[in-house]
Amino acid sequence: MKNRGKTEHIDDIKTFQPAIWKSLFQALDDNPHAIFLIDQNLHILALNTSAVHFSSLMNDTAVAAGNVFLDAFPPMAHTQLLRAIQPGLQGEISSLDFEFSTDRGLISFNLTFSPLKPAEGQVTSILCVVAEKNQPNLRPSPIPVHQDPLDAQLSGRITSLEETNRHLRLEIEKQLESETALQASETFFRQNFQSLPDPTLIWVKDPEGEIRLAAANRAAGAFTGSRVQELTGLTLEDFYSHALQFIGLVQRAFSADDTRHIELLFTSQLVRGEKWVLCDFIRLSDQYVLNILRDITSEKDRQKIDEDTRNQIELLRQAMTAFTSVLNLEQVLTNILEYLQKLIPHDRAILFLLEGANLVVRATSGFTEGDDLLDMEIPAQNSQFEAINRNRLPIFLANAKEYRPFEALGPLNCGKSWLGVPLLGHGQVLGYLSIYAQTPGKYENEHSRLAEIFSNEASIAIENARLFQQVQQLAVTDELSGYYNRRYFYELVELELARSRRYKHPVSLLMIDLDHFKAVNDRYGHATGDRVLINICNQIRQAVRESDIPGRHGGEEFVLLLPETPFERAIEVAERLCRMIEAHRVVLNGIEISITISIGVAAIGPDCKDSDTLFQQADLAMYQAKLAGRNQVSAAAKPQAR
């Protein structure tokens, strides 16, 4: 960088010293470090808000101006403090590392003692800066907490002390303006200016109007990763070449009002990466501007983490509300993937549910219509599911494409970064979420933690939806046969007839009766009779189409609705069923039982336009089949063309 090592404006330093000290005292309350100004007798001349809170932390009692400095510390530390202060009283900078046990655990502090003295005199005061090593912020958390009466009383006292200290600092400022004894020499200024904890710059404007850096302290050097000598003399444009908004604020401070406590993002060739700084631009005179840069990057990072955490909690709350607001399984699965995308960004996600010995893809996101894997089945015995089932915790891979055991999954292994999340219900695996991103190494422990919390709520929602589905199924099905019960079957018939009338499609109905079934119950008992009935019902179900609708009409009578089936085709179906059951043997406990059925057939037509007529004609046809000797099919009159 050009213009390094320019003149440091040594002759002008005495000019801006008093104004700088005044400005720094005005900014005391904004410094996160505890700062004490003490006299030769160790009495406190001034202290900032952080110092008040520090003393409360040490002794449960806040100190104020006029108190003895040692009162801010526990008695056990007084000997160490006196030893550390002694060099300061003799004009030397000294420091002390101090540890203190609190309810937060063991806290480590560093105390720096810097002597303040006039050019031809003795030390008049000492500046003590206390910095916590673990976290440089001695102020209480801004998050509101409940206060008990003792806390409230202490808080009120601290507020009162802070007000007292502000008045004291005003008095000190007046003295800084009037008393030459407090206007330190160049040596004094350099020594104490350099010990300030925040990066501090002093800009000077020459007669030609060019602004250069007249002075910078050690903290500024550490902040920029440079030596102080390298910074001094840089032009304003060079120093802030990558942070142009700072240039305007310095220029404005020379000609107009100060700018204080503004948060800006600082980028520079001198600084690696970006940093957030809390800035002050304070006009000292027509020639000088004081520029304080407080690094608040760690505070911003904590705020970002807190904000992300709040957003995650809110998303989880919304997800739980969405999960519990519906009981339809398909909608629940849709909600799960919708909120998963908001909580854990990904390119593709697959939700598997365990059904018997297979895993079935029941929901997906990120796929196109042409490559969607919905309803695809794979054996539960696969490397991905076995890893999840074994751990019962979320697991992730940086690059699943390079993990050889996953190669057998084919299109189901559809990304690089992979996060597998089990869905657990009462200790059993219901299925799992398979989450993919095309960027390798995207998922970490934080994603795993969030996924586990999310999956717990998702699993409960899936279980509830399944239970509701089962309850609904029980409400409309016959417990013994598994067929629809009479009430619900009649509702389905009405729906199908309405569709038939609208689209002019044929519909037929079979009325089925098990021949001489009472004899089976009388001979073998009702328990065996029930098993025979179940067996016959299963045979019929397997022999018809999935679109055909079976129902139990009562006792050993059953009905079978055949949508899109004309009268002649319905007779063929009935004949096939009749012959199949005649040839079938039910074997129970070594006993072979034969059964036959009688079937009546009816269909919608000009003489049969409603469900009541349809059932009457089918029932009458079945009665005729039984009168004719059973084990046969009888059809109602053939419907005329509509």
Task: Write out the catalytic residue numbers.
Answer: 556
- CB count within 10 Å of CB 51 equals 27
- Whether 8 and 232 have beta carbons less than 8 Å apart is answered as yes
- Whether 1 and 237 have beta carbons less than 8 Å apart is answered as no
- Whether 421 and 433 have beta carbons less than 8 Å apart is answered as yes
Dig out the tokens for 97 from the structure: 């590392």
Rounded to 5 degrees, what are φ and ψ at 396?
A: -140, 155
Q: Which residue has the tokens 């404006």?
A: 9
Q: CA geometry: angle at 334 spanning 331 and 336, to 5°? A: 110
Q: Which residue has the tokens 């060739």?
A: 269
- Whether 242 and 249 have beta carbons less than 8 Å apart is answered as no
- Report the SS3 class of residue 219: helix
Q: Where are the alpha helices (DSSP H) in 69-207?
A: 78-89, 149-178, 186-193
Residue 69 gets the label, from left (phi > 0), alpha (psi -120 to 50) or beta, of: alpha
Dig out the tokens for 327 from the structure: 């009981």
- Whether 512 and 551 have beta carbons less than 8 Å apart is answered as no
Q: Which residues contact 357 (CB under 8 A, 6 or more apart)?
A: 379, 380, 381
- Whether 238 and 3 have beta carbons less than 8 Å apart is answered as yes
- Whether 51 and 69 have beta carbons less than 8 Å apart is answered as no
